[in-house]
Structure 1
């Protein structure tokens, strides 16, 4: 979740804008039965050893491979609707638990070293995974949401030879600003103050301590039900901590069973490793220096919810709709899809519409 304030300011011609009203690398070491919720759908689950982790993947179907990358605080499970749809439509659909999430376990160090969660580690994981899941395919199709989108943008930038086409949900491309005052994490503190969630995530153990007081279920409810176009804040006040106790109704797209699946996984893993992605942001900014100004040259399509907090960050809409995005991603599809009345978790909130857009785009590039 980032702002155009991270980017160089430029002005270009506008792409076409569409406001859509949605309808009402390694060795396989273990295979196990799918979770009960989708046991009848026969989604296959495997552990794959890549780099310094054992990565859990969920997969189904045969055909061209589509790799689905989730965000924070999520799991492979966020793609449950997409796995079933694309497997039924002639694709090999694969969704991993990313480094630090769910049933993906580290082989070496555990958790505390945020430098092990740099964008280069994350992209290396995905390149290695592609070698395993698609050994006979030169290039695959990729879909990302939230942090999964960020990882996929840099996969496309670093290794365009491995990606046929990419659908980005929620997060536009991060155009690195070379100004040291515009390091990725620091800029959020400048814009929003010390309470902004990305800045609160920077100090090791700080936010984890708060989350421990509140409990995993309430934390996940807060994130997954968030629909305010304003950004997420975590003030260091007792009043705010007590606010977690306020009743929260689950949206229609998130059942109690869905929430409980997330809860069970995060009770096992905690939040630290997922938060470490954010703690490595300034390191990412430093290491990405040689790619300043580089273009992503992979066919891409962008979709976002009208109420998504990322879409409402300062400068985001101007970057997306006034040509800066197209300049950075010259093969970006001319139609930018903004789903009316939809918030951040777009692929879960409106799976049918998202699936149709993804399918239509990939049919042109398969």
Structure 2
């Protein structure tokens, strides 16, 4: 059975879901999610012979949410995972991330290959540091309504999402914007992120009302500001990662995504998925799951678990 506790790491408190003994595996969730998003993975990976920890990431759930926007850079979020490994009394770990947790996992492997011996990313490809700041490049290309841009102004998305938290979580997790590539990630003029996202259909089979309640109750308590602050560091992260321009992640790696995930079906995402080996020379597998959307480890846990466990076992054996 999994347990939970809070540890101090990198001068903040991190709430953990934890299970098992053996080599350490760290699971990093995305937005707007929680460690609960890994509920199908924690026990399965632990039963395969590993010590699994899934934190509520900085700004989410029961972990600390610093007030300063600048406290949510990629250096801070990776620093949390480095400090977490040390706080657990370990020197090495395998790291896995989904959505925003994927950039944390990829950059953790890039920055600290001495600690993170293997890396898996779900839904978001590894970093391809482009020629300019991402938000600036969007504007220069005539894009002004991408959801990243909508999230930049403090208070705007918070007000929309916090007006009805239950509706927000049902819309984001079970609506079509992040599960149907025909809806996409552009915000119509004068509209919000939740507009034109149909939620009148029943919850998908992978998300029960009890599951939804866990997310709703957490966000009623915390609000959405912490998670949105990750987006407000997108250009700053580009500046901070200048020393790693064109760097490769040389540890064993795995990529998993849903074929219907708009993150990988768009022009940029599709190209990055086709060019994974440029950044991941030791890519062990690229698994694109037919019919699946963005919330891949919740939607298709059996396939994700099988791929993750096979990869983790192989990587752990190689690092001994």
- Rg bigger for which structure? 1
Count of aligned positions: 312
Task: Tell me the distance in 2 between the aligned counterparts of 1:224 and 1:65.
Answer: 29
Normalising by structure 2, what TM-score? 0.92
Higher relative contact order (CA 8 A, sep 6+): 1
- 1:359 aligns to 2:314 (yes or no): no
Change (3 A) 1:268 1:174: same
Structure 1 gaps of 5+ residues are 1-41
Please tell me whether the aligned partners of residues 172 and 302 of structure 1 are also in contact (alpha carbons under 8 angstroms): yes
> How far does residue 317 in structure 1 lie from its aligned partner after superposition?
2.5
Post-superposition CA distance 1:284-329 (Å, at most 9, x none): 11111111111111110111100011111213323322xx321222
Residue equivalent to 1:83: 42
Task: Tell me the distance in 2 between the aligned counterparts of 1:319 and 1:258.
Answer: 32
> How far does residue 233 in structure 1 lie from its aligned partner after superposition?
3.4
Structure 2 gaps of 5+ residues are none
Q: Which moved more, 1:79-88 or 1:220-229?
A: 220-229
Aligned match for 1:141, one of 84, 94, 107: 94
- 1:58 aligns to 2:17 (yes or no): yes
Residue equivalent to 1:228: 180
Aligned match for 1:154, one of 97, 101, 107: 107
Change (3 A) 1:172 1:238: closer
Q: Which moved more, 1:77-86 or 1:220-229?
A: 220-229
Residue equivalent to 1:201: 151
Normalising by structure 1, what TM-score? 0.80
SS in 2 for 1:105: coil
Aligned match for 1:326, one of 277, 280, 291: 277
How do residues 175-194 of structure 1 correspond to structure 2 at under 5 angstroms?
A: 175-177=128-130, 179=131, 182-189=132-139, 193-194=143-144
> How far does residue 49 in structure 1 lie from its aligned partner after superposition?
1.1
> How far does residue 190 in structure 1 lie from its aligned partner after superposition?
5.2
Structure 1 consecutive aligned stretches of length 4 or more whose deviation exceeds 6 Å: 238-242
- 1:128 aligns to 2:78 (yes or no): no
Change (3 A) 1:306 1:326: same
Post-superposition CA distance 1:82-131 (Å, at most 9, x none): 0111122211111000000000024xxx43x2111000000101100011
SS in 2 for 1:310: helix
Post-superposition CA distance 1:318-366 (Å, at most 9, x none): 3322xx3212221112x31110000001100010110001111122111
Aligned match for 1:310, one of 256, 259, 263: 263
- 1:92 aligns to 2:63 (yes or no): no
Residue equivalent to 2:225: 272
Please tell me whether the aligned partners of residues 165 and 219 of structure 2 are also in contact (alpha carbons under 8 angstroms): yes
- 1:171 aligns to 2:124 (yes or no): yes
Post-superposition CA distance 1:137-157 (Å, at most 9, x none): x32111110011110110011
RMSD (CA atoms): 2.0
Please tell me whether the aligned partners of residues 67 and 94 of structure 1 are also in contact (alpha carbons under 8 angstroms): yes
Residue equivalent to 1:210: 160
Post-superposition CA distance 1:133-176 (Å, at most 9, x none): 2x24x321111100111101100110011112111111111211
Please tell me whether the aligned partners of residues 162 and 223 of structure 2 are also in contact (alpha carbons under 8 angstroms): no
> How far does residue 210 in structure 1 lie from its aligned partner after superposition?
2.0
